[in-house]
Structure 1
Amino acid sequence: MNKKLKKTYKFAYKTSLYLTLFMTLILGVFLYLLQAFDIIYMLVFAIATYFVSFLTIQHRVERFIYRRVQKIYDDLTLLESTSLRRQPITTDMATLTRQIDKYAKERKIEIETLKVREEYRKEFLGNVSHELKTPLFTVQGYISTLLDGAKDDKALLDKYLMRANKGVERLIYIVKDLDMITKLEVGDLSLNIKAFDIVDLVQSVIELLEMKAAKKKISLIFDRDYSEPIMVMADRERIQQVLTNLVTNSIKYGKEKGTTEISIENLIKNKVIVRVTDNGEGIANNNIPRLFERFYRVDKSGSRKEGGSGLGLSIVKHIIEAHDERIYLESELAVGSEFSFTLEKAK
């Protein structure tokens, strides 16, 4: 047997010792009765018996354990038998138990991970189905009404066609956002990185959304006057989309006569941080970890009335991460929220 003997082979050691003592005792009694007792002969016999017993037991037990454990691996496919073959089978049951327990825990973690992913997949498909069927049923309803005779009424024809068109526009909006997220996730969306003035971009977003904010009597402001430009390196169009989504969300969930404030601060030598802060309804702690998931909504009933694809924050997260930057969220229920993200300064 070519395998190196280990001190952990207690079973073979002890069993061989018991056999040697028993066989030597029997031989000693036998020789004593024959009046041929010889201590040297007894020692040689004991040593030979011990080694033969040890090698035989070790070899047979290893083969026995290996075959039984291997059969469990093959039948139940709970463990990776190929990994077991890379290690010698030991008769030390404690070591063997630790090895099996290690593999079992690894498989358990894999199974739990797959279960989590499966739950996420089911929830995602359910959300996609819900988001798509609402505008689809709307379009179908108006078209069916027109086909049933309402088309003969010119006023109803124009009205229903306009509403059906809004449903189609919502579908297109959702599909475009899904396509963008997919491209961002697989790294297929190229970024046009160049230097631009982030102060000018923020001002543009404020002007774009001023009327939307005014409808809820929300003040949309810069935290202070920025007399000097702040140049950053990023994709201007994508960062504008990030700011637009964050400010739109702030207005959507802001309270009437509230405030949404945007600020730009130096973070470290080569980084700035852009903050969007409001005093709206805030977000509960249990919702924060999932807030950037696709289609995840804090208030599933009320948020749908506000429109949108449910993908805004997920797009924000993916765009910022595509720039190798970080996005942060601090929020307190009934107090307000602050979304912030970093950008690299232009040299």
Structure 2
Amino acid sequence: MSIKKRLIISNIGMIIIPIIGFLIVEIVLGYLLFFVFKGNPQGSGLKLLISYRFIAMALILIITNGLLTYYVSKSIITPITKLSLAAKKISEGDLEYSIGSNKKDELGELTNTFEAMRIKLKEAKTAQLQYEQNRQELIASISHDLKTPLTSIKGYVKGIQDRVANTPEKLERYMDTIYKTANDMDGLIDELFLYSRLDLQQVPFEIEKVDLYAFFADFVDELAFNLDKEQNTVILLANKDDPYIVEADREKLKRVVTNIVQNSMKYMDKKHKEIQVRLSSSSDEVIVEMKDNGSGIRKEDIPHIFDSFYRTDISRNSSTGGSGLGLSIVKKMIEEHGGNVWAVSKLGEGTSIYFKLKKVT
């Protein structure tokens, strides 16, 4: 019941209840004085009736007014007191104090709105703590990944300074290693910088109509040329008659599929590596599946592989390298396109990375 209705009923009750009470008192007192105790209705009995009636009327007014006022004020003051206490606890940083209400009045709605705010603040605080933890893990990870190649570079430079590389062949090998290591560091820094800009939404997207079939046909041809050197294969599976037109940033889309391929290539443990790209078209979206025949991902890791800064245990192996940001960048770029991305994997059988984009005509 709303507070307005409660107040109206209370005011009506303050009128009706005393009237009913007066009538009852009048009947009961008259019956007792004139019938039970045989009082004189014209003399002292009447005076006594008037006195008792006045006292009863005063008591009825006091009790009725007191009870109704107490009930109404309690129904308003109690939730306000709880809200005040909750606000104080939140101001002190305590987000565990719950004040949910099942009442249907204005204060009940206010209480539930306040409770919803508390829950959102708690979720935001949890997310902030998780973000801070992830940030610290990223700093530690990046520091480690940068320190390792820097140590290597310093070692080779020191070898050149100490004339350990005393032949042209050895000197050339040292210089090639230094260049490759520095190039890996540059790629790591570039990936971190891109992720930071995406996180701050400072990366411009040049949206245009892209035919995904033509896009992947060119990409697969280029990738197949590189993989064929190692006797590996890449296959495009799609129905040529279906339309695959989407609105996308061509360069960002290329970065997405490149990151997925690079991530797949890191963990392919088969002698013959294979990547399949499958396109499927529905009435309003195009779904892309990029499947590899690698080692697969553990079930408990699958929900987290696109999380910011997340790296599975295997990806921390120094032989694979990487900052753990590749698939996070994929997720951010796909979401900027209005799509979403997910993974399906089974250990020993490979991984499929899916993403879908809205189709246009």
1:128 equivalenced with 2:138 (yes/no)? yes
RMSD: 4.8
Of residues 50, 54, 59 in structure 2, which corresponds to 1:49? 59
Tell me which residue corresponds to 1:209.
Answer: 223
Letter in 1 for 2:161: K
CA distance in 1, matches of 2:7, 2:274: 74
Deviation sequence 1:83-137 (CA, Å, 0-9, x none): xxxxxxxxxx9x9997898578547634642453244224312331233212432
Flag the 1:186–1:115 CA change in 2: closer, same or farther, 3 A.
closer
Q: How far did 1:246 drift? A: 1.8
- Whether the 8 Å contact between 2:79 and 2:107 is mirrored in structure 1 is no
Deviation sequence 1:144-178 (CA, Å, 0-9, x none): 54676751327377655654544443443333333
Name the stretch that deviates more: 290-299 or 214-223. Answer: 214-223
Of residues 126, 133, 148 in structure 2, which corresponds to 1:138? 148
Flag the 1:5–1:136 CA change in 2: closer, same or farther, 3 A.
closer
Letter in 2 for 1:129: I
Q: How far did 1:53 drift? A: 3.2
Q: Secondary structure at the match of 1:342?
A: strand
- Whether the 8 Å contact between 2:83 and 2:111 is mirrored in structure 1 is no
Any residues of structure 2 matched to 1:214-229 within 5 Å, and which? 214=228, 218-223=232-237, 226=240
Count of aligned pairs between the two proteins: 327
Of residues 263, 273, 281 in structure 1, which corresponds to 2:287? 273
Letter in 2 for 1:297: R
Letter in 2 for 1:306: T
Flag the 1:317–1:139 CA change in 2: closer, same or farther, 3 A.
closer
Q: How far did 1:292 drift? A: 0.7
Where structure 1 has 5 or more consecutive residues not aligned to the other structure, the ranges are 82-92
Deviation sequence 1:251-283 (CA, Å, 0-9, x none): 322341243211222221x43222212333323
Any residues of structure 2 matched to 1:143-292 within 5 Å, and which? 144-145=154-155, 150-153=160-163, 155=165, 162-210=176-224, 213-214=227-228, 218-223=232-237, 226=240, 230-256=244-270, 257-268=272-283, 270-292=284-306
- Whether the 8 Å contact between 1:218 and 1:255 is mirrored in structure 2 is no
Letter in 1 for 2:293: N
Letter in 1 for 2:217: Q
Q: Secondary structure at the match of 2:343?
A: strand
Deviation sequence 1:54-76 (CA, Å, 0-9, x none): 43466578779988987776677
Tell me which residue corresponds to 1:299.
Answer: 313
Scaled by the length of structure 2, what TM-score is found?
Answer: 0.67
CA distance in 2, matches of 1:274, 1:77: 49
- Whether the 8 Å contact between 1:245 and 1:313 is mirrored in structure 2 is yes
1:323 equivalenced with 2:337 (yes/no)? yes
Q: Secondary structure at the match of 1:134?
A: helix
Letter in 2 for 1:287: D
